[in-house]
Protein backbone atom coordinates (compact mmCIF):
# COMPACT_ATOMS: atom_id res chain seq x y z
CA UNK A 1 0.00 0.00 0.00
CA UNK A 2 2.19 2.84 -1.21
CA UNK A 3 -0.50 5.45 -0.53
CA UNK A 4 -0.72 4.55 3.10
CA UNK A 5 3.05 4.68 3.48
CA UNK A 6 3.12 8.15 1.94
CA UNK A 7 0.35 9.31 4.25
CA UNK A 8 2.19 7.90 7.20
CA UNK A 9 5.32 9.60 6.03
CA UNK A 10 7.25 6.61 7.23
CA UNK A 11 9.34 6.24 4.09
CA UNK A 12 10.50 9.78 4.32
CA UNK A 13 12.87 9.36 7.23
CA UNK A 14 15.80 7.68 5.53
CA UNK A 15 15.41 9.43 2.18
CA UNK A 16 15.17 12.93 3.61
CA UNK A 17 18.32 12.83 5.65
CA UNK A 18 20.82 14.98 3.87
CA UNK A 19 23.28 14.49 6.66
CA UNK A 20 23.33 11.21 8.48
CA UNK A 21 22.90 11.04 12.22
CA UNK A 22 25.17 8.00 12.30
CA UNK A 23 27.41 6.69 13.58
CA UNK A 24 26.29 7.72 17.05
CA UNK A 25 29.41 8.11 19.09
CA UNK A 26 29.51 8.35 22.86
CA UNK A 27 32.83 9.38 24.38
CA UNK A 28 33.59 9.03 28.10
CA UNK A 29 30.08 10.06 29.03
CA UNK A 30 29.39 10.70 32.70
CA UNK A 31 26.36 11.95 34.52
CA UNK A 32 26.37 12.87 38.19
CA UNK A 33 23.74 14.26 40.53
CA UNK A 34 25.10 16.12 43.56
CA UNK A 35 28.43 14.34 43.31
CA UNK A 36 26.94 10.87 42.88
CA UNK A 37 28.02 9.30 39.57
CA UNK A 38 25.03 7.64 38.00
CA UNK A 39 26.72 7.03 34.66
CA UNK A 40 30.44 6.56 34.68
CA UNK A 41 32.83 7.05 31.77
CA UNK A 42 30.72 5.40 29.12
CA UNK A 43 32.05 5.08 25.56
CA UNK A 44 30.37 3.28 22.69
CA UNK A 45 29.55 3.54 19.04
CA UNK A 46 26.15 2.72 17.57
CA UNK A 47 25.38 2.22 13.90
CA UNK A 48 22.34 3.19 11.87
CA UNK A 49 20.79 -0.18 11.16
CA UNK A 50 20.66 -2.62 14.06
CA UNK A 51 17.93 -2.55 16.69
CA UNK A 52 19.90 -1.57 19.76
CA UNK A 53 18.51 -2.89 23.01
CA UNK A 54 19.80 -1.38 26.23
CA UNK A 55 19.58 -3.86 29.10
CA UNK A 56 20.53 -3.98 32.73
CA UNK A 57 19.02 -4.11 36.19
CA UNK A 58 17.14 -1.19 37.73
CA UNK A 59 19.38 1.73 38.49
CA UNK A 60 21.96 0.66 35.94
CA UNK A 61 21.48 3.97 34.13
CA UNK A 62 19.50 2.75 31.11
CA UNK A 63 16.90 5.50 31.14
CA UNK A 64 19.56 8.08 31.94
CA UNK A 65 21.60 6.98 28.92
CA UNK A 66 18.53 7.29 26.72
CA UNK A 67 17.72 10.78 28.03
CA UNK A 68 21.30 11.88 27.51
CA UNK A 69 21.40 10.53 23.96
CA UNK A 70 18.12 12.28 23.15
CA UNK A 71 19.30 15.51 24.74
CA UNK A 72 16.60 15.68 27.42
CA UNK A 73 19.35 16.17 30.01
CA UNK A 74 22.90 17.44 29.74
CA UNK A 75 25.87 15.21 30.55
CA UNK A 76 28.18 16.17 33.40
CA UNK A 77 31.14 15.37 31.19
CA UNK A 78 31.89 13.59 27.94
CA UNK A 79 30.55 13.94 24.43
CA UNK A 80 27.68 12.62 22.36
CA UNK A 81 28.21 12.95 18.63
CA UNK A 82 25.57 12.20 16.03
CA UNK A 83 27.32 11.69 12.71
CA UNK A 84 30.25 13.61 14.11
CA UNK A 85 28.23 16.57 15.34
CA UNK A 86 26.98 17.45 18.80
CA UNK A 87 23.23 17.35 19.31
CA UNK A 88 21.45 20.50 18.14
CA UNK A 89 17.73 21.18 18.07
CA UNK A 90 17.78 20.50 14.32
CA UNK A 91 19.15 17.03 14.95
CA UNK A 92 16.81 16.51 17.89
CA UNK A 93 13.85 17.11 15.63
CA UNK A 94 14.79 13.94 13.80
CA UNK A 95 14.34 11.82 16.93
CA UNK A 96 11.52 11.11 19.33
CA UNK A 97 11.05 9.17 22.49
CA UNK A 98 8.30 7.00 23.91
CA UNK A 99 8.27 6.97 27.69
CA UNK A 100 7.56 4.18 30.12
CA UNK A 101 4.38 5.91 31.24
CA UNK A 102 2.76 7.52 28.22
CA UNK A 103 2.27 11.26 28.66
CA UNK A 104 -0.98 12.02 26.88
CA UNK A 105 -2.56 15.41 26.48
CA UNK A 106 -5.96 15.91 28.06
CA UNK A 107 -7.60 15.83 24.66
CA UNK A 108 -9.07 13.39 22.23
CA UNK A 109 -6.98 10.59 20.74
CA UNK A 110 -6.76 12.25 17.34
CA UNK A 111 -5.94 15.65 18.87
CA UNK A 112 -2.90 14.08 20.52
CA UNK A 113 -1.55 13.02 17.13
CA UNK A 114 -2.51 16.33 15.55
CA UNK A 115 -0.58 18.17 18.26
CA UNK A 116 2.66 16.37 17.40
CA UNK A 117 2.12 16.92 13.68
CA UNK A 118 1.40 20.58 14.20
CA UNK A 119 4.62 20.95 16.14
CA UNK A 120 6.36 20.07 12.86
CA UNK A 121 4.17 22.43 10.89
CA UNK A 122 2.37 19.66 9.04
CA UNK A 123 -0.64 17.53 9.55
CA UNK A 124 -3.99 16.81 8.06
CA UNK A 125 -6.91 14.81 9.39
CA UNK A 126 -6.14 12.06 6.85
CA UNK A 127 -2.59 11.84 8.07
CA UNK A 128 -3.77 11.60 11.69
CA UNK A 129 -6.26 8.90 10.79
CA UNK A 130 -3.62 6.97 8.83
CA UNK A 131 -1.35 7.02 11.86
CA UNK A 132 -4.16 5.92 14.15
CA UNK A 133 -5.05 3.13 11.73
CA UNK A 134 -1.42 2.09 11.70
CA UNK A 135 -1.55 1.48 15.46
CA UNK A 136 -5.11 0.14 15.40
CA UNK A 137 -6.79 3.03 17.19
CA UNK A 138 -8.88 4.43 14.34
CA UNK A 139 -12.16 3.54 16.04
CA UNK A 140 -11.10 5.47 19.16
CA UNK A 141 -10.18 8.69 17.35
CA UNK A 142 -12.64 10.90 19.20
CA UNK A 143 -12.35 9.30 22.62
CA UNK A 144 -10.58 11.22 25.39
CA UNK A 145 -6.99 9.93 25.23
CA UNK A 146 -6.75 9.36 28.94
CA UNK A 147 -9.72 7.02 28.94
CA UNK A 148 -7.86 4.47 26.83
CA UNK A 149 -6.44 1.31 28.39
CA UNK A 150 -2.75 1.20 29.23
CA UNK A 151 -1.85 -0.67 26.05
CA UNK A 152 -3.93 1.65 23.89
CA UNK A 153 -2.36 4.69 25.53
CA UNK A 154 1.10 3.40 24.72
CA UNK A 155 0.08 2.66 21.13
CA UNK A 156 -1.19 6.23 20.87
CA UNK A 157 2.12 7.49 22.27
CA UNK A 158 3.83 5.46 19.54
CA UNK A 159 1.56 6.85 16.84
CA UNK A 160 2.38 10.34 18.05
CA UNK A 161 6.09 9.58 18.08
CA UNK A 162 5.94 8.16 14.55
CA UNK A 163 3.94 11.18 13.40
CA UNK A 164 7.06 13.33 13.39
CA UNK A 165 8.79 10.86 11.03
CA UNK A 166 11.72 10.22 13.33
CA UNK A 167 14.95 8.77 12.06
CA UNK A 168 15.67 7.63 15.60
CA UNK A 169 13.01 6.24 17.91
CA UNK A 170 13.92 5.92 21.58
CA UNK A 171 11.73 3.66 23.70
CA UNK A 172 12.14 3.64 27.46
CA UNK A 173 10.62 0.40 28.75
CA UNK A 174 7.41 1.08 26.84
CA UNK A 175 5.85 -2.26 27.77
CA UNK A 176 6.97 -2.47 31.39
CA UNK A 177 3.41 -2.37 32.72
CA UNK A 178 1.57 -4.00 29.83
CA UNK A 179 0.15 -7.49 29.40
CA UNK A 180 1.53 -9.88 26.72
CA UNK A 181 -0.95 -9.02 23.97
CA UNK A 182 -0.48 -5.28 24.42
CA UNK A 183 3.27 -5.87 24.48
CA UNK A 184 3.06 -7.84 21.23
CA UNK A 185 1.15 -4.98 19.60
CA UNK A 186 3.81 -2.47 20.63
CA UNK A 187 6.64 -4.73 19.47
CA UNK A 188 4.89 -5.21 16.13
CA UNK A 189 4.68 -1.46 15.55
CA UNK A 190 8.30 -0.96 16.58
CA UNK A 191 9.48 -3.76 14.29
CA UNK A 192 7.49 -2.29 11.40
CA UNK A 193 9.07 1.12 11.99
CA UNK A 194 12.51 -0.49 12.00
CA UNK A 195 11.79 -2.26 8.72
CA UNK A 196 10.99 1.13 7.20
CA UNK A 197 14.40 2.43 8.19
CA UNK A 198 13.90 4.01 11.60
CA UNK A 199 16.73 3.44 14.03
CA UNK A 200 15.41 1.83 17.21
CA UNK A 201 17.05 2.25 20.61
CA UNK A 202 14.98 0.26 23.06
CA UNK A 203 15.43 0.03 26.82
CA UNK A 204 14.07 -3.06 28.52
CA UNK A 205 14.86 -5.36 31.37
CA UNK A 206 12.69 -8.08 29.97
CA UNK A 207 15.07 -10.73 28.61
CA UNK A 208 12.46 -12.34 26.38
CA UNK A 209 11.66 -9.02 24.79
CA UNK A 210 15.35 -8.29 24.24
CA UNK A 211 15.77 -11.66 22.53
CA UNK A 212 12.81 -10.94 20.24
CA UNK A 213 13.90 -7.45 19.24
CA UNK A 214 17.62 -7.01 19.60
CA UNK A 215 20.22 -7.04 16.85
CA UNK A 216 22.76 -5.80 19.35
CA UNK A 217 22.73 -5.40 23.11
CA UNK A 218 24.20 -2.68 25.28
CA UNK A 219 24.39 -4.06 28.80
CA UNK A 220 24.77 -1.58 31.63
CA UNK A 221 25.43 -2.29 35.26
CA UNK A 222 25.76 0.25 38.06
CA UNK A 223 26.34 3.12 35.68
CA UNK A 224 29.01 1.37 33.64
CA UNK A 225 29.00 -0.16 30.20
CA UNK A 226 29.62 -3.84 30.75
CA UNK A 227 29.00 -5.27 27.28
CA UNK A 228 28.16 -4.10 23.79
CA UNK A 229 27.77 -7.13 21.55
CA UNK A 230 25.69 -8.49 18.70
CA UNK A 231 22.56 -10.07 20.16
CA UNK A 232 23.45 -13.61 19.09
CA UNK A 233 26.76 -13.43 20.88
CA UNK A 234 25.36 -11.68 23.95
CA UNK A 235 22.64 -14.25 24.49
CA UNK A 236 24.78 -17.32 23.78
CA UNK A 237 28.12 -16.38 25.29
CA UNK A 238 27.82 -13.38 27.60
CA UNK A 239 31.36 -12.42 28.52
CA UNK A 240 30.95 -10.67 31.85
CA UNK A 241 29.82 -12.20 35.15
CA UNK A 242 27.15 -9.46 35.49
CA UNK A 243 25.46 -10.25 32.19
CA UNK A 244 25.83 -14.00 32.72
CA UNK A 245 24.14 -13.64 36.07
CA UNK A 246 21.45 -11.40 34.65
CA UNK A 247 20.63 -13.76 31.81
CA UNK A 248 20.53 -16.75 34.14
CA UNK A 249 17.97 -14.92 36.19
CA UNK A 250 20.17 -14.55 39.20
CA UNK A 251 19.64 -11.33 41.08
CA UNK A 252 22.45 -8.99 40.10
CA UNK A 253 23.03 -5.94 42.22
CA UNK B 1 -32.20 39.66 65.16
CA UNK B 2 -35.79 40.43 64.13
CA UNK B 3 -34.26 41.67 60.88
CA UNK B 4 -33.45 38.24 59.51
CA UNK B 5 -37.03 37.17 58.85
CA UNK B 6 -37.80 40.55 57.42
CA UNK B 7 -34.67 40.47 55.29
CA UNK B 8 -35.65 37.17 53.69
CA UNK B 9 -39.12 38.53 52.95
CA UNK B 10 -37.69 41.72 51.44
CA UNK B 11 -35.14 39.73 49.46
CA UNK B 12 -37.82 37.47 47.99
CA UNK B 13 -40.02 40.44 47.19
CA UNK B 14 -37.16 42.21 45.45
CA UNK B 15 -36.30 39.18 43.39
CA UNK B 16 -39.87 38.17 42.60
CA UNK B 17 -40.87 41.68 41.59
CA UNK B 18 -37.69 41.93 39.52
CA UNK B 19 -37.24 45.35 41.08
CA UNK B 20 -35.71 47.61 38.43
CA UNK B 21 -33.26 49.26 40.80
CA UNK B 22 -32.10 45.90 42.10
CA UNK B 23 -31.63 44.53 38.57
CA UNK B 24 -29.61 47.63 37.71
CA UNK B 25 -27.32 47.04 40.66
CA UNK B 26 -26.97 43.29 39.98
CA UNK B 27 -26.30 43.88 36.31
CA UNK B 28 -23.62 46.46 36.99
CA UNK B 29 -21.99 44.22 39.62
CA UNK B 30 -21.81 41.34 37.16
CA UNK B 31 -20.68 43.54 34.30
CA UNK B 32 -17.87 45.13 36.29
CA UNK B 33 -16.64 41.95 37.94
CA UNK B 34 -16.93 39.71 34.87
CA UNK B 35 -15.08 42.30 32.78
CA UNK B 36 -12.40 42.50 35.44
CA UNK B 37 -12.09 38.70 35.55
CA UNK B 38 -11.82 38.50 31.77
CA UNK B 39 -9.10 41.14 31.67
CA UNK B 40 -7.31 39.60 34.64
CA UNK B 41 -7.35 36.20 32.89
CA UNK B 42 -6.09 37.73 29.67
CA UNK B 43 -3.05 39.02 31.52
CA UNK B 44 -2.78 36.65 34.47
CA UNK B 45 -3.06 33.27 32.75
CA UNK B 46 -0.20 33.74 30.25
CA UNK B 47 1.82 35.45 32.98
CA UNK B 48 1.24 32.59 35.40
CA UNK B 49 2.09 30.04 32.71
CA UNK B 50 5.24 31.88 31.70
CA UNK B 51 6.45 32.02 35.30
CA UNK B 52 5.49 28.36 35.74
CA UNK B 53 7.62 27.04 32.89
CA UNK B 54 10.26 29.76 32.74
CA UNK B 55 13.61 29.39 34.48
CA UNK B 56 15.21 32.80 34.82
CA UNK B 57 17.25 34.67 37.42
CA UNK B 58 15.02 36.32 40.00
CA UNK B 59 12.23 33.79 39.52
CA UNK B 60 12.03 33.21 43.27
CA UNK B 61 11.56 36.92 43.89
CA UNK B 62 8.83 37.08 41.24
CA UNK B 63 7.00 34.23 42.98
CA UNK B 64 7.21 35.94 46.37
CA UNK B 65 5.91 39.22 44.94
CA UNK B 66 3.15 37.47 43.00
CA UNK B 67 1.99 35.59 46.08
CA UNK B 68 2.20 38.71 48.24
CA UNK B 69 0.13 40.69 45.73
CA UNK B 70 -2.68 38.16 46.16
CA UNK B 71 -3.37 39.88 49.46
CA UNK B 72 -3.57 43.40 48.06
CA UNK B 73 -6.03 45.40 50.21
CA UNK B 74 -8.87 46.60 47.96
CA UNK B 75 -8.91 50.08 49.51
CA UNK B 76 -5.24 50.53 48.70
CA UNK B 77 -5.85 49.50 45.09
CA UNK B 78 -8.82 51.85 45.03
CA UNK B 79 -6.73 54.68 46.38
CA UNK B 80 -3.93 54.12 43.85
CA UNK B 81 -6.32 53.97 40.93
CA UNK B 82 -8.06 57.07 42.31
CA UNK B 83 -4.74 58.94 42.36
CA UNK B 84 -4.03 57.88 38.79
CA UNK B 85 -7.44 58.82 37.45
CA UNK B 86 -8.17 61.98 39.45
CA UNK B 87 -7.90 65.27 37.61
CA UNK B 88 -4.48 65.91 39.10
CA UNK B 89 -3.26 62.41 38.23
CA UNK B 90 -1.43 61.27 35.11
CA UNK B 91 -4.55 59.75 33.57
CA UNK B 92 -6.93 62.49 34.71
CA UNK B 93 -7.47 63.62 31.12
CA UNK B 94 -9.26 60.33 30.41
CA UNK B 95 -12.08 61.51 32.71
CA UNK B 96 -12.66 57.97 33.95
CA UNK B 97 -13.09 58.58 37.67
CA UNK B 98 -16.55 57.63 38.95
CA UNK B 99 -17.33 55.49 35.92
CA UNK B 100 -17.78 51.72 35.65
CA UNK B 101 -14.56 51.66 33.60
CA UNK B 102 -12.62 52.93 36.61
CA UNK B 103 -14.18 50.19 38.71
CA UNK B 104 -13.19 47.57 36.15
CA UNK B 105 -9.63 48.89 36.14
CA UNK B 106 -9.41 48.77 39.93
CA UNK B 107 -10.81 45.23 40.18
CA UNK B 108 -8.58 44.03 37.36
CA UNK B 109 -5.52 45.25 39.23
CA UNK B 110 -6.85 43.63 42.37
CA UNK B 111 -7.37 40.15 40.94
CA UNK B 112 -4.73 39.81 38.23
CA UNK B 113 -2.14 38.72 40.83
CA UNK B 114 -4.61 36.16 42.17
CA UNK B 115 -5.21 34.68 38.73
CA UNK B 116 -1.49 34.73 37.91
CA UNK B 117 -0.34 33.17 41.19
CA UNK B 118 -2.98 30.44 41.26
CA UNK B 119 -2.62 29.59 37.58
CA UNK B 120 1.15 29.43 38.07
CA UNK B 121 0.61 26.62 40.58
CA UNK B 122 -1.83 24.74 38.36
CA UNK B 123 0.35 25.05 35.26
CA UNK B 124 3.52 24.11 37.08
CA UNK B 125 1.97 20.84 38.21
CA UNK B 126 0.88 19.99 34.69
CA UNK B 127 4.22 21.07 33.28
CA UNK B 128 6.05 18.59 35.51
CA UNK B 129 4.03 15.89 33.78
CA UNK B 130 4.40 17.23 30.22
CA UNK B 131 7.90 18.71 30.27
CA UNK B 132 9.95 15.78 28.97
CA UNK B 133 7.41 14.87 26.32
CA UNK B 134 7.37 18.47 25.09
CA UNK B 135 11.13 18.56 25.07
CA UNK B 136 11.25 15.32 23.12
CA UNK B 137 8.85 16.73 20.54
CA UNK B 138 10.83 20.00 20.39
CA UNK B 139 7.79 22.10 21.31
CA UNK B 140 8.70 25.81 21.40
CA UNK B 141 7.87 27.66 24.66
CA UNK B 142 4.94 29.67 23.31
CA UNK B 143 3.28 26.53 21.95
CA UNK B 144 3.95 24.79 25.25
CA UNK B 145 2.29 27.64 27.17
CA UNK B 146 -0.73 27.50 24.89
CA UNK B 147 -1.00 23.73 25.24
CA UNK B 148 -0.63 23.85 29.02
CA UNK B 149 -3.27 26.57 29.35
CA UNK B 150 -5.65 24.60 27.14
CA UNK B 151 -5.08 21.28 28.88
CA UNK B 152 -5.48 22.87 32.32
CA UNK B 153 -8.59 24.74 31.23
CA UNK B 154 -10.93 23.14 33.73
CA UNK B 155 -8.61 23.72 36.67
CA UNK B 156 -8.06 27.27 35.48
CA UNK B 157 -11.81 27.80 35.54
CA UNK B 158 -11.60 27.41 39.30
CA UNK B 159 -8.80 29.95 39.32
CA UNK B 160 -10.96 32.42 37.40
CA UNK B 161 -13.74 31.67 39.85
CA UNK B 162 -11.51 32.62 42.78
CA UNK B 163 -10.79 35.90 41.01
CA UNK B 164 -14.47 36.49 40.34
CA UNK B 165 -15.35 35.77 43.95
CA UNK B 166 -12.81 38.27 45.15
CA UNK B 167 -13.94 40.92 42.65
CA UNK B 168 -17.68 40.65 43.15
CA UNK B 169 -17.34 40.64 46.94
CA UNK B 170 -14.95 43.55 47.42
CA UNK B 171 -16.25 46.99 48.33
CA UNK B 172 -13.16 49.06 49.12
CA UNK B 173 -11.86 49.63 45.60
CA UNK B 174 -15.15 50.19 43.79
CA UNK B 175 -16.49 52.61 46.36
CA UNK B 176 -13.38 54.81 46.11
CA UNK B 177 -13.09 54.92 42.31
CA UNK B 178 -16.80 54.48 41.55
CA UNK B 179 -18.32 56.65 44.21
CA UNK B 180 -21.48 54.57 44.63
CA UNK B 181 -23.54 56.82 42.37
CA UNK B 182 -27.10 55.59 41.96
CA UNK B 183 -27.85 54.12 38.51
CA UNK B 184 -24.29 54.80 37.45
CA UNK B 185 -21.71 53.15 39.66
CA UNK B 186 -23.73 51.48 42.39
CA UNK B 187 -22.95 47.79 42.71
CA UNK B 188 -24.20 45.24 45.22
CA UNK B 189 -21.44 45.68 47.76
CA UNK B 190 -21.55 49.47 47.76
CA UNK B 191 -25.34 49.35 47.97
CA UNK B 192 -25.09 47.06 50.98
CA UNK B 193 -22.64 49.43 52.64
CA UNK B 194 -24.93 52.38 51.93
CA UNK B 195 -28.14 50.72 53.14
CA UNK B 196 -26.37 49.57 56.30
CA UNK B 197 -25.16 53.07 57.07
CA UNK B 198 -28.64 54.43 56.38
CA UNK B 199 -30.02 51.92 58.86
CA UNK B 200 -32.11 49.92 56.36
CA UNK B 201 -30.71 46.65 57.56
CA UNK B 202 -33.44 44.55 55.98
CA UNK B 203 -32.69 45.89 52.50
CA UNK B 204 -28.95 45.55 53.12
CA UNK B 205 -29.37 41.97 54.22
CA UNK B 206 -31.64 41.26 51.27
CA UNK B 207 -28.99 42.53 48.89
CA UNK B 208 -26.46 40.39 50.73
CA UNK B 209 -28.62 37.32 50.24
CA UNK B 210 -28.93 38.01 46.53
CA UNK B 211 -25.17 38.46 46.29
CA UNK B 212 -24.59 35.15 48.01
CA UNK B 213 -27.16 33.52 45.76
CA UNK B 214 -25.26 34.69 42.70
CA UNK B 215 -21.95 33.46 44.12
CA UNK B 216 -23.55 30.10 44.88
CA UNK B 217 -25.02 29.78 41.40
CA UNK B 218 -21.73 30.61 39.68
CA UNK B 219 -19.85 28.14 41.87
CA UNK B 220 -22.38 25.40 41.27
CA UNK B 221 -22.15 25.98 37.53
CA UNK B 222 -18.38 25.72 37.49
CA UNK B 223 -18.41 22.66 39.75
CA UNK B 224 -20.82 20.88 37.41
CA UNK B 225 -18.61 21.68 34.46
CA UNK B 226 -15.53 20.36 36.26
CA UNK B 227 -17.21 17.16 37.37
CA UNK B 228 -18.31 16.48 33.81
CA UNK B 229 -14.79 17.17 32.59
CA UNK B 230 -13.29 14.85 35.18
CA UNK B 231 -15.70 12.12 34.17
CA UNK B 232 -14.41 12.42 30.64
CA UNK B 233 -10.82 12.49 31.91
CA UNK B 234 -10.10 15.87 30.47
CA UNK B 235 -9.25 17.37 33.85
Number of Cβ within a 10 Å radius of residue B181 = 11
Radius of gyration in angstroms for the set of CA atoms belonging to chain B, rounded to a whole number: 20
A→B contacts (Cβ < 8 Å), by residue, are: 67, 70, 72, 89, 92-93, 95-97, 99, 103, 105-107, 115-116, 119, 144-147, 164
Chain B residues close to A145, C-beta within 8 Å = 233
B227 CB-near residues (< 8 Å, 6+ apart): none
CA distance B143 to chain A (A): 8
| Contact at CB, B143 and A119, closer than 8 angstroms | yes
**Which residues have C-beta within 8 Å of that of residue A214, sequence separation ≥ 6?**
A51, A52, A53, A202, A231, A234
* Residues whose CB falls within 8 Å of the CB of residue B222, separated by 6 or more in sequence, listed in order: B157, B158, B161
- For the cut 90, the answer to whether the pLDDT of residue A12 exceeds it is no
Residue A253 lies in a domain: no
**What's the pLDDT tens digit per position in B96-131?**
999 999 999 999 999 999 999 999 999 999 999 999
Q: Which of A17-21, A63-67, A202-206 has the lowest mean pLDDT?
A: A17-21
In a domain, A103, yes or no: yes
Residue-wise pLDDT tens for chain B (235 aa)? 566 777 778 778 877 887 888 889 999 999 999 999 999 999 999 999 999 998 899 999 999 999 999 999 999 999 999 999 999 999 999 999 999 999 999 999 999 999 999 999 999 999 999 999 999 998 988 899 999 999 999 899 999 999 999 999 999 999 999 999 999 999 999 999 999 999 888 788 888 888 898 889 988 988 888 888 877 766 5
Cis peptide before A23 (omega within 30 of 0): yes
Position A3 confidence tier, pLDDT thresholds 50, 70, 90: low
SS3 category, B13 = helix
Mean pLDDT calculated for residue range A34-48: 92
Whether residue B151 and residue A105 make contact (CB cut-off 8 A), yes or no, is yes
Nearest CA to A8 out of A151, A150, A128 is that of A128
B56–chain A Cβ distance below 8 A for any pair: no
Burial class (CB in 10 A: 0-12, 13-18, 19+), B179: middle
> What pLDDT score was predicted for residue B193?
94
Local structure of residue A138 (DSSP, 8 states): G
**Distance between CA B21 and CA A133 in Å, rounded?**
61
pLDDT of residue B235: 54
Q: For testing the chain A interface, which of B123, B135, B138 should be mutated: the one with the most A CBs within 10 Å?
A: B138
CB B192 within 8 A of CB B204: yes
Task: Report if residue A135 sits inside a domain.
Answer: yes
**Integer Cα distance of B195 and B202 in angstroms:** 9
Interface probe for B, chosen from A97, A106, A123, A140 (most Cβ of B below 10 Å), is A106
Alpha carbons A6 and B79: distance in angstroms, whole number: 65
pLDDT in tens, A50-60: 999 999 988 89
Instruction: Supply the pLDDT for residue A122.
Output: 77
Residue A15 has pLDDT above 50, yes or no: no
Q: State whether B147 and A115 contact (CB < 8 Å).
A: yes
The string of pLDDT tens digits covering residues B15-39 is 788 788 888 999 999 999 999 999 9
Is the pLDDT confidence value at A225 over 50? yes
Which residues on adjacent β-strands are paired with residue A96?
A169
- Residue in B with minimal Cα distance to A90: B138
Q: Is B16 on the interface with A (CB under 8 A)?
A: no
Which among A159, A170, A119, A161 is positioned nearest to B141, based on CA atoms? A119
| Residue B157 touches chain A, beta carbons under 8 Å | no
Residue A119 belongs to domain spanning:
2-247
DSSP string covering B141-174? HHHHHHHHHHHTHHHHHHHHHHHHHHHHH--HHH
Query: By percentage, how much of chain A surpasses pLDDT 90?
Result: 69
Residues of A in contact with B234 (CB under 8 A): 106-107, 144, 146
> Does the beta-carbon distance from B133 to A106 stay under 8 Å?
no
With CB atoms and an 8 Å threshold, state whether A107 touches B151: yes
Determine the Cα–Cα distance for residues A27 and A78; give it in Å rounded to an integer: 6
Alpha-carbon distances, residue B73 vs A147, B39, B61, B79, B118 (angstroms) = 44, 19, 21, 10, 18
Kindly tell me the sign of the dihedral angle through the C-alpha atoms of A203, A208, A214, A215: positive
Residue of B122, B130, B132, B133 to mutate, testing the A interface (most A Cβ within 10 Å of its Cβ): B133
* Beta-carbon separation of A93 and B130 below 8 A: no
A184 - beta bridge partners?
none
* CATH number of domain containing A88: 3.40.50.300
- Identify the bridge partners of residue B49 per DSSP, sorted by sequence position: none
Does the B3-231 domain belong in CATH 1.10.3720.10? yes
At A251 the pLDDT is: 63
Where are the domains positioned within chain B? 3-231
Q: What is the CB neighbour count within 10 angstroms for residue B235?
A: 19
Minimal Cα–Cα distance from A250 to chain B, Å? 34
Helix (H, G, I), strand (E, B) or coil at A28: strand
Query: Across the interface, do A96 and B139 touch by the CB < 8 Å criterion?
Result: no
- Considering CB atoms only, which of A95, A103, A144 is closest to B234? A144
Alpha-carbon distance A225 to nearest alpha carbon in chain B (angstroms) = 25
Q: Which of A72, A89, A115 shows the shortest C-beta gap to B132?
A: A72
Residue A23 near residue A83, CB atoms below 8 Å: yes
In a domain, A152, yes or no: yes
Residue of B nearest to A169 (CA): B136
Cβ-Cβ contacts under 8 Å, B132 against chain A: 67, 72, 97, 99, 103
Q: Which residues of A179-213 are buried (b: 16+ CB within 10 A; e: fewer)?
A: eeebbebbbebbeebbebbbbbbbbbbeeebbebb
Alpha-carbon gap, residue B127 to B104, rounded angstroms: 32
Among A9-13, A24-28, A68-72, B222-226, name the one with the lowest average pLDDT: A9-13
pTM confidence score: 0.84
Q: What is the mean pLDDT of residues A125-154?
A: 92
Window B:93-132, CB contacts with A under 8 Å: 129-130, 132
Query: What is the pLDDT at residue B156?
Result: 93
CA distances to A134, A182, B128 from A186, rounded to whole Å, are 11, 6, 26
Residue at A252 is within a domain: no
Domains: count for chain A: 1
Contact residues on chain A for B146, CB-CB shorter than 8 A: none
Contact B179, B157 (CB under 8 A): no
- Considering only the beta carbons, identify the residue of B132, B138, B232 that sits closest to A144: B232
Which of A83-97, A197-211, B9-23 shows the lowest per-residue confidence on average (mean pLDDT)? Answer: B9-23
Burial class (CB within 10 angstroms; exposed 0-12, middle 13-18, buried 19+) of A100 = middle
CB contact under 8 A, A146 and B137: no
| DSSP output for A103-120 | ---SSBHHHHHHHHHHHT
Closest Cβ–Cβ partner in A96, A144, A146 for B137: A96
Going by pLDDT thresholds of 50, 70 and 90, the confidence category of residue A70 is: very high
Amino acid sequence: MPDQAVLLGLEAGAARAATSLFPLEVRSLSYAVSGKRLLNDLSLQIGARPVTVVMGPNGAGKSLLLRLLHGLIEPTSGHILWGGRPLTSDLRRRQTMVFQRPVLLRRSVIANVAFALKARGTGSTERCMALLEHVGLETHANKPARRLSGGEQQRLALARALAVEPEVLFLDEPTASLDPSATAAIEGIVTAAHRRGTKIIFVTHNIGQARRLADEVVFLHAGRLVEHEPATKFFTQPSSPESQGYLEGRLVF
Amino acid sequence: MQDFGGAFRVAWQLVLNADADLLDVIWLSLRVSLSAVSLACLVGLPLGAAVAIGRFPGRGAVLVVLNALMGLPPVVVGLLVYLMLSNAGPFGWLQLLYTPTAMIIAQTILITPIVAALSREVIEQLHIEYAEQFRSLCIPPHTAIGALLWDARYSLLTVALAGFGRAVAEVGAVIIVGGNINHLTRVMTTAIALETSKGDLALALALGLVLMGIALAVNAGVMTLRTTATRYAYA
